[in-house]
Amino acid sequence: MTMTITTAEARKNFADIVNKVAYGKEPIVLTRRGQEIAALVSMDELQLLRQIEDHIDIKDAKKALAELGENISAEEVWKQLGL
């Protein structure tokens, strides 16, 4: 389960918080005035998030390429527009 602490608590116990995240693989959500403002995650989790983001970017790029269809020259565009 994800631990939630205030930024003030995080400042007071910074070394312990870092150890929980880094070695305990426990993500921690930071709050300020009752609002969630940030999350601390281990490097392994960050790398996984980056891989997921890269996968989504590649998937979106492939989809965009597939939607492009056939290429036409500028001259053909002008011709189709009657210019």
Tens digit of each residue's pLDDT (9 = 90 or more) over 13-38: 999 999 999 998 889 999 999 999 99
| Whole-angstrom distance, CA of residue 33 vs CA of residue 28 | 16
For residues 56-81, give the mean pLDDT.
77
The domain containing residue 76 runs over which residues? Answer: 43-83
Average pLDDT in the chain: 88
Does 64 share its domain with 36?
no
- Contact between 74 and 83 under an 8 Å Cβ cutoff? The reply is no
Sign of CA dihedral 35, 38, 41, 47: positive
Owner of token pair 């036409």 = 72
| Whole-angstrom distance, CA of residue 46 vs CA of residue 39 | 11
Pull the structure tokens for residue 13.
């116990």
User: Given pLDDT bands bounded at 50, 70 and 90, which one contains residue 77?
Assistant: confident
- Is this model's pTM higher than 0.75 or not? no
Does 35 share its domain with 1?
yes
Does the pLDDT at position 64 exceed 80?
no
Does 16 share its domain with 36?
yes
Q: How many folded domains does the chain comprise?
A: 2
